[in-house]
A and B are shown apart, each in its own frame.
Chain A
């Protein structure tokens, strides 16, 4: 399951704190929407909600940072970037290996075995 593409609506059933936790756990870029309406794209790598003024830390899309932003300055966070943990490279590799093995077996099955008589005689 991935949160990629999710645009959370902060409200009665979803708090900003919860959205920040999801963003912190997300392995892709997000779009941070500030309370003044400005947006910034970046990777949220840290948050601290146990301090007097909770904050997030992020690197922007160009890798600049880290930038710190208080929870009080955030309206919401959109999950706009690709979720890099949603891949299935291992499964793809296993499937390819299985196809190769099946291909080898089929090729061996079709070839005449050493010592087999030539079906055309001779």
Chain B
């Protein structure tokens, strides 16, 4: 695993503080969406289908910082939309770094090379590049030829300038374990710090509804992909989450683990479902009917979901919830064997 020690320590001490306080529901990563606008229209994305006046809107840097402070999570993920289309993205990143938040700026990297000058390398800032597989798979997922090559160029440029660079990959039905293993080799050869994986979620508003993974198929795919992992593969996420995707753990969703803030407010209940908005983080936490979500709730929308934003916080909480789970995490981290 490839998460830097300082980040591991920050997250570990944060989670342990929550446990000592007896806080059962706490945020781990704030999903901050400063805008919905994007320069791609990917098949599996349900984030950008809005009328023009909504796509033109964006949050101010000040409002973003307020939300980050209100939430208190040690990590901030900036998806969107395409965050590099946000006019103040450099200033926003700098403000969050100044507050010692570990920032993952999730981008398709089309604009990354030309915007790199707006950023300063820092251990707190990572570019998380959207890469859904080898060239043909990625370009098909983003519905545009040439994007894979643009992203590879941008990764090389960012790595050369000393930035932390990771990849984030969403997997859909039909993904080939063999091609994915080739993809892992390619990404590591580019010098990325680590890779993040997640099965896709079937957004009701996404154009492609046919290729979202069901639970059993997810286990099968991740077992075929990650059994016998190569030594040089590094994953920038909880090893227990990867083991969950392989069917070695059964985790329930913790939708409050990655709360989402965007131009509409605090999204209920999670990054993927839009069932309403709260005006403050406190209101979100106190007035959302959390029992209505997660697989065990019987909620049809949650039945097949194994997505990182609901289940990785569960895995992290589990890591610090027992000596056995902590030992398992340490063992996987040291040996690289999933």
Give chain A's interface residues, CB within 8 Å of chain B. 24, 27-29, 43, 45-48, 57, 59-63, 66, 81-82, 84-85, 87-91, 93-94, 97
Contacts and interface: CB of A to CB of B under 8 A. Distances in A.
Contacts of A63: 53-54, 56-57
Contacts of B207: 87-91
Interface string B115-157: 0000000000000000000000000100110000000000000
Interface string B159-176: 000000000000000000
Contacts of B53: 29, 43, 59-63
Contacts of B56: 63
B320 interface: no
Interface in B6-51: 41, 43, 46, 49-51
B264 A84 contact: no
Contact of B51 (A43, A46, A97): A43
Contact of A84 (B49, B143, B265, B276): B49
Contact of A48 (B51, B140, B208, B276): B276
B50 A84 contact: yes
A81 B50 CA distance: 11
Given A63-B54, A63-B57, A57 B277 contact: yes
Contact of A46 (B50, B54, B208, B264): B264
Nearest to B55: A84
A81 B264 contact: no
Nearest to A100: B145
A46 B277 contact: yes
A46 B265 contact: yes
Nearest to A84: B49
B249 interface: no
Residue among A48, A60, A91, A93 having the largest count of chain B Cβ atoms under 10 Å = A93
A88 B276 CA distance: 26
A93 B264 contact: no
Given A27-B49, A62-B53, A89-B143, 17 more contacts: A24-B276, A43-B50, A45-B54, A46-B265, A46-B276, A46-B277, A59-B54, A63-B54, A63-B56, A81-B51, A84-B50, A84-B51, A85-B49, A88-B207, A89-B43, A90-B43, A94-B140
A96 to B, nearest CB: 9
A88 to B, nearest CB: 6
